[in-house]
Amino acid sequence: MAMRRVLSLILSVLSTVTLLWTQSGECNNGRRSGDAGDTDLSGFSVPLEHSFEVDDVPRFRLRGALQLKGGKENGVYLSQNQLSEKDRITLKDVAAADGLYRVRVPRVSLQVDRQTERPSEGYLTTFVRACALVESHLSDVITLHTDVSGYIIGISIVTIPGSCRGIEVEDEVDLEVFNTTISVVAPVTAPAPETAPFIERMEQEMEKKGKNPQEQKSFFAKYWMYIVPLVLFLMMSGAQDQSGGGAGGGAANGGGR
Amino acid sequence: MAWLVVRLAISMSLLYTASAVFEDQVGKFDWRQQFIGKVRFALFDTHSQASKKLLLATDKNVFASLNSRTGDLFWRHVDKTGPEGHIDALLMYGQDAVVVVGNGRLLRSWETTVGGLKWETVLDTGSFQAAALVGVQDFVKYVAVLKKSAISLHDLSSGSEIWVENLPDSDSVQYQTIYSGGNGLVLVLGVVPNSHIVIVEYKIEDGEIMNKKSVEAAWMSSLESSCAVVSSGILLCVDQITQSLYTLPLQSAEQTEMRQIHLQTLDLEVVSGFRPVLTSTQPNPAQPPLSEFFLQLSPDHHILLQFKDGLIAPLRDFNPAYLAAFATSGERTVAAVMSPKNDTACSINLFSADTGRRHLDTTIIYHMDPNGGKPNRLYVHAFLKKDDSVGYRVMVQTEDLALTFLQQPGRVVWMREEALADVVTMEMVDLPFTGTQAELEGEFGKKADGLLPMVLKRLSSQFILLQAWLAHLWKLFYDARKPRSSVKNEVTIDVLSRDEFNLQKMMLMVTASGKLFGIDSKSGTILWKQYLENIQPNSVFKLIVQRTTAHFPHPPQCTLLIKNKDTGLGSLYVFNPIFGKKSQISVPALPRPILQTLLLPVIDQDYAKVLLLIDDQYKVTAFPSTKNVLQQLQDTASSIFFYLVDSSQGKLSGFRLRKDLSTELIWEVVIPTEVQKIVAVKGKRANEHVHSQGRVMGDRSVLYKYLNPNLLAVITESTDTHQERSFVGIILIDGVTGRIVHEAVQRKARGPVHFVHSENWVVYVYWNSKFRRNEFSVLELFEGAELYNSTVFSSLDRPHPPQVLQQSYIFPAPINTLEATLTEKGITSRHLLVGLPSGNILSLPKLFLDPRRPEMVSEQSREENLIPYAPEMPIREEWFINYNQTVSRVRGIYTAPSGLESTCLVVAYGLDIYQSRVFPSKQFDVLKDDYDYILISSVLFGLFFATMISKRLAEVKLLNRAWR
């Protein structure tokens, strides 16, 4: 019973940690955009492009459109098309040759007003093995990482499951529609040394000790019955040691000096 | 009481980790060597005949006194780094040494016997030009300091300012030299380049300007480099364009222009492109300089000249001669000249300065180190012998910053390798087996290739064994004939072999001057050294161990990549780390700047690991590039990934190798440089082993570690340095897929950031700009209660992000460097080695940096041995692994595993080098030094005999019972 409680406690700790991970990120962005003042709540759209070629030379095509909502929600929504017949065949061919399936997004800021500030230059790219994408039946998780000011700094794609086992996949059924989970992750604020709770805890303990009159007794008064035999025992054993003729020798003597 | 409980809990937990050195263990496992750096000024104490003091000021802002008989340090003062502690001038008179520090900021006087500060004066601002001792009536009483726009005179015994005067027209005239001939005047010489010289005379008593004149000198650009004062106040200058000498009596009123003497009239000529140098000597600051002087006409041509009655006469021509120097003992001044003797040796001879005649029997033969540099400075210590003849000793400084102290007839009294004051990078290599061990090892290591070759190999190895045995016998026989005392027990390369526990290793040290050292880690003896010539001063080095000693009979192989920081062009130097010899292997030419190197676990048929060099066109060069290697690279190309960092654009990019050794870009992460800049990227060490895959928690479940060998820790710093808005960012990126595993921001923080990335954790130190303190932060990554794929880790197949735990602590001291201990199998608990500016190295248990330290003590946390969270990290003196052997300006710490799991070898380097062993979990696999073998064995024997006797007695008793 106790064991289970412990487990649940740890799990809850871990889950809060992971929750914090995502939450604080959102808070963070929310605050930032709040700072920026009026933001366009309707959001804006950014193309998500992909490339899978048998010869492994990237030729990016449009996969879908990322609807990025600036402002407080900081949500992201991906609308994407089905894979065409031709694409499905290519993807299976690439998977068979152990090629790469690449995706990219342009470098943009999630802050809508900053969009105009600086035109996006370059792309952020990443990849996943094509076979993993095929075998997971096009279920992938795409994460966009932003920095503190809301610029997208990186994109990552993983498939679930992520392994390539060489399972046969029927292209009509399984390779038509992407089953994508997409999220935006902002940096977590790292914790600073927690002095306040520590002092509070110390004070509480002091109070607790103060209330209990039994604890007021001095250390010796409380534990004399343990200390006296211990000291006696040590003295006895020490006397024996000396009569034993420097059996303790070496370092003990050196340290004592 | 609560404090007591917490303290008690902490100290209980420390019972396992506390480690300090016993008094009798001092110096047993550890050694320290102290260095000073490149010598800029060196003065011998000629005050008394028996003095052994040698005063040195170096470019490392160190002011030290050496024992000239042994080369040991008497005392050393290490000033601030950078221009603030720069030593501008060193003057000595009697027992006092006067030093100008920090571009004329401070004037200090040191007592030379014990190195105590006598006085210190803060000088007015202004850039330092020159300093000189000023004497009146044969007695030196003052020191004059010349700044760009002022001159000040200070009392030598108290440092108090006598007067300070502004220099006339200091914005147009460059005042560069001070001259005083002991006649009550201080002369300040300045120059207006390519126009005229200005001479200002000051009265010593009150600083009154007595006289000021200017003299035409249209050819002159700098006084300092082309002029000297000889005889009774004659300014002597040399100009290479007009090939002539110019003289000017400084204090004469009638002569208003410099007199030109063509070198041709003296049958002399300056080699084109060489800037001639004049060297004069002023033995006593209260008297005018000697009328003899040296003129250097080419790198190896010196001539001793004399100025007499307005005429210059050559006394002796030294051609060829590398170096020449004056020295004075008592009333006699001599000149020592170093001339080449043959290819490997130079001879140094003594000449009397006033006549140029050679002193008999004064030759010192200086043997040049074939692996060293050329001599470039000569310091002479002259002394009067009992028979009133002049004896001398010399100190030679070479290009590779070695100081050699010689005495007649060429005995090296001592030698110091000052290049070691600036170690850039280092590695530790296992020592080779002895011939016998190696033969046996090699036998098993070889690949089976047919019966006959195997038999032949066996025979050959047996033959080598026989040879080794015979050699050993011969040596025994040979040594037995010699008296015992002469059999030296020195460490030499020949007797080097691996010890039982691999505790003795070869330390390879690369220094900024381009000199490589092989040092025995046990004793600190330099076993070999190699000076690489033509190393640019701004080079960066990377040392790679391509083949260890484990592959007998192939020699171990190390590669040093030397890269010019500006052009990025690199070159490879391949050598044997045990003997220091350059390898004969042909090295690939590197015509393009190198961006990244990658040591692959792929080995060629000679067991050398393959090194990949990526150039700025993303082309890959393999070294070694044999057919075998190329074939292997082709086979494994699709699984070879590497990353590049361009911090100027904030770009991290990942590449994959193609079969034709070209590369393709596969991922890209761009961190906008407007907000933050990348300051450091670190992966994990390749030779790191992690023993446990997870951590057992209080409830007996396992929390698995996220052990991604491809994980990179990227540290960024904000461009905004305002204390409220500045931050330090930490981004964990998978180096293969470019996936950002974790991204955190430490607010109100700034650098310098020191960090360690190991196992499943990253520890970093930053400066909290709000609270103005140093803080530690630890990040640990866990997979959770279940492993995704427990057999193998693949970055391509690890879809779930790890759980990240983080905690921060206050560290009550600034930090110079940070490193983690490393052991053979990773079973031993880890410690962090923290190099403090005080010179101590703190061994901080990783236990204290654990993000799972609980706020409140609970049953489970106690079960797990977690220390309750305390915001402040303790520093205990017994954690200092180097007790009182502080390491000045510690810049780096290197850790290496030994053959004993409990033991980690540590080398800390900075200005000093310190080597020691640490035992993070105590010496659990070693018996203590004071282990009582006699007691144990006597108890054992006693028990054995007791059983024997009692057995016999029992038998007798049984027999008796049977008879009854």
How many angstroms separate the CA atoms of B429 and B442, rounded? 18
8 Å CB contact of B669 and A154:
yes
How many angstroms separate the CA atoms of B501 and B801, rounded? 41
Q: Give the pLDDT mean for B288-302.
A: 89
Q: Give the pLDDT mean for B308-335.
A: 87
A142 touches chain B (CB under 8 A): no
Residues of A in contact with B676 (CB under 8 A): 147-148
Computed on alpha carbons and rounded to an integer, the radius of gyration of chain A in Å comes to 32
pLDDT band at B625 (very low <50, low <70, confident <90, very high): confident
- Residue numbers of A between 11 and 50 with CB closer than 8 Å to B: 11, 14, 17-18, 21
pLDDT at B907: 95
Q: Is the pLDDT of residue A215 over 60?
A: no
Q: Is residue A208 part of a domain?
A: no
Q: Give the pLDDT mean for B171-191.
A: 87
Percent of chain B at pLDDT exceeding 70: 95
pLDDT band at B76 (very low <50, low <70, confident <90, very high): very high
Instruction: Give counts: helices (H), strands (E), chain A.
Output: 8, 9
Find which of A148, A164, A199, A206 to mutate to test the B interface (most B CBs within 10 Å of its CB): A148
In this complex, which of B746, B747, B929 lies closest to A251 when CB atoms are compared?
Answer: B929
What is the side-by-side order of every strand in the sheet holding B526-531? B423-430, B505-511, B515-520, B526-531
End-to-end CA distance of chain A: 54
8 Å CB contact of B742 and A159:
no
Q: Is the pLDDT of residue B9 over 60?
A: no
Strands B277-280 and B292-298: antiparallel
Angle between the A195-211 and B2-14 helix axes, to the nearest 10 degrees? 120
Residues of B in contact with A128 (CB under 8 A): 737, 796
Output B462 or A7, whichever has higher pLDDT.
Answer: B462
B738 touches chain A (CB under 8 A): yes
Would you call A188 helix, strand, or coil by DSSP?
strand
8 Å CB contact between B741 and B708: yes
Torsion angle in degrees (nearest 10) through CA of B948, B954, B957, B958? -130
The tens digit of pLDDT for each residue in B718-743 reads 988 888 889 999 999 999 998 999 99
Residue of A nearest to B767 (CA): A192
pLDDT band at A22 (very low <50, low <70, confident <90, very high): very low
pLDDT at B438: 61
Q: Give the pLDDT mean for B194-199.
A: 87
8 Å CB contact of B808 and A3:
no
B933 touches chain A (CB under 8 A): no
Output A250 or B564, whichever has higher pLDDT.
Answer: B564
8 Å CB contact between A111 and A36: yes
8 Å CB contact between B201 and B185: yes
pLDDT at A38: 38
DSSP, res B687: T
Q: Is the pLDDT of residue B400 over 80?
A: yes
Residues of B in contact with A29 (CB under 8 A): none
pLDDT at B698: 84
In this complex, which of A7, A191, A197 lies closest to B807 when CB atoms are compared?
Answer: A191
Q: Among B780, B811, B778, B934, which residue's Cα sits nearest to residue B879?
A: B811
pLDDT band at B483 (very low <50, low <70, confident <90, very high): low
Structural domain for A164, as ranges? 44-185
Quick one: A62 exposed, middle or buried, by C-beta within 10 A (0-12, 13-18, 19+)? Answer: exposed
Residues of A in contact with B19 (CB under 8 A): none
8 Å CB contact between A155 and A143: yes
How many angstroms separate the CA atoms of A193 and A179, rounded? 42
pLDDT band at B441 (very low <50, low <70, confident <90, very high): low
B208 touches chain A (CB under 8 A): no
pLDDT at B13: 47
Q: Is residue A252 part of a domain?
A: no
The tens digit of pLDDT for each residue in A157-177 reads 988 888 888 777 776 677 778
- The string of DSSP codes covering B835-883 is E-TTS-EEEEEGGGS-TT--SS--HHHHHTTPPPP-SBPP--GGGBTTT
Residue of B nearest to A100 (CA): B666
Q: Which of A24-33, A237-246, B69-78 has the lowest mean pLDDT?
A: A24-33
8 Å CB contact between B302 and B337: yes
Rounded to the nearest angstrom, the minimum Cα separation between A22 and chain B is 11
8 Å CB contact between A126 and A142: no
8 Å CB contact of B739 and A127:
no
pLDDT at A116: 54
- The string of DSSP codes covering B434-466 is PHHHHHHHHHHHSPP--HHHHHHHHHHHHHHHH
Residue matched to tokens 């001669």: B321
8 Å CB contact of B775 and A190:
no
Answer positive or negative: Cα dihedral of A230, A234, A237, A240: negative
Rounded to the nearest angstrom, the minimum Cα separation between A6 and chain B is 7
pLDDT at A12: 40
Per-chain mean pLDDT for chain A: 72
Computed on alpha carbons and rounded to an integer, the radius of gyration of chain B in Å comes to 34
8 Å CB contact of B667 and A127:
yes
Q: Is residue A203 part of a domain?
A: no
Q: Is residue A177 part of a domain?
A: yes
In this complex, which of A18, A129, A206 lies closest to B2 when CB atoms are compared?
Answer: A206
Residue matched to tokens 């009979």: B553
Q: Which of A213-227, B256-270, B453-467, B666-680 has the lowest mean pLDDT?
A: A213-227
Q: Is the pLDDT of residue B152 over 50?
A: yes
Burial readout B139-148 (b: 16 or more C-beta within 10 A, e: otherwise): ebbbbbbbbb
A193 touches chain B (CB under 8 A): yes
Per-chain mean pLDDT for chain B: 86
Total number of domains in chain A = 1
A104-118, B258-272, B841-855: which is most confident: B841-855
- Three-state secondary structure string covering B27-71: CCCCEEECCCCCEEEEEECCCCCCCCEEEEEECCCEEEEEECCCC
Q: Is residue A91 part of a domain?
A: yes
Residue of B nearest to A205 (CA): B2
pLDDT at B421: 92
Q: Which of A14-18, A194-198, B400-404, B958-962 has the lowest mean pLDDT?
A: A14-18
Q: Give the pLDDT mean for B465-481.
A: 81
Q: Which of A31-40, B188-197, B515-524, B677-686 has the lowest mean pLDDT?
A: A31-40
Rounded to the nearest angstrom, the minimum Cα separation between B785 and chain A is 9
8 Å CB contact of B803 and A14:
yes
Strands B663-670 and B676-682: unpaired
Rounded to the nearest angstrom, the minimum Cα separation between A171 and chain B is 22
CB pairs under 8 A between A and B: 187
Quick one: A235 exposed, middle or buried, by C-beta within 10 A (0-12, 13-18, 19+)? Answer: exposed
pLDDT at B370: 85
8 Å CB contact of A194 and B740:
no
In this complex, which of A6, A164, A257 lies closest to B860 when CB atoms are compared?
Answer: A6
Output B793 or B962, whichever has higher pLDDT.
Answer: B962
Q: Is residue A228 part of a domain?
A: no
Q: Is residue A127 part of a domain?
A: yes
Residues whose CB falls within 8 Å of the CB of residue A134, separated by 6 or more in sequence, listed in order: A91, A92, A95, A169, A175
How many angstroms separate the CA atoms of B657 and B587, rounded? 22
∠ CA B119-B120-B123, rounded to 5°:
145
pLDDT at B94: 82
Q: Is residue A62 part of a domain?
A: yes
How many angstroms separate the CA atoms of B741 and B713, rounded? 10
- Residue numbers of B between 859 and 898 with CB closer than 8 Å to A: 860, 869-872
The tens digit of pLDDT for each residue in B214-257 reads 888 888 888 888 888 888 888 888 888 888 888 888 877 777 77
Rounded to the nearest angstrom, the minimum Cα separation between B903 and chain A is 20
Find which of A18, A114, A153 to mutate to test the B interface (most B CBs within 10 Å of its CB): A153
8 Å CB contact of A251 and B729:
no
DSSP, res B193: T
Rounded to the nearest angstrom, the minimum Cα separation between A166 and chain B is 14
8 Å CB contact between B775 and B763: no
- Residue numbers of B between 14 and 73 with CB closer than 8 Å to A: 22-24
Residues of B in contact with A191 (CB under 8 A): 777, 806-808
Q: Is the pLDDT of residue B840 over 80?
A: yes
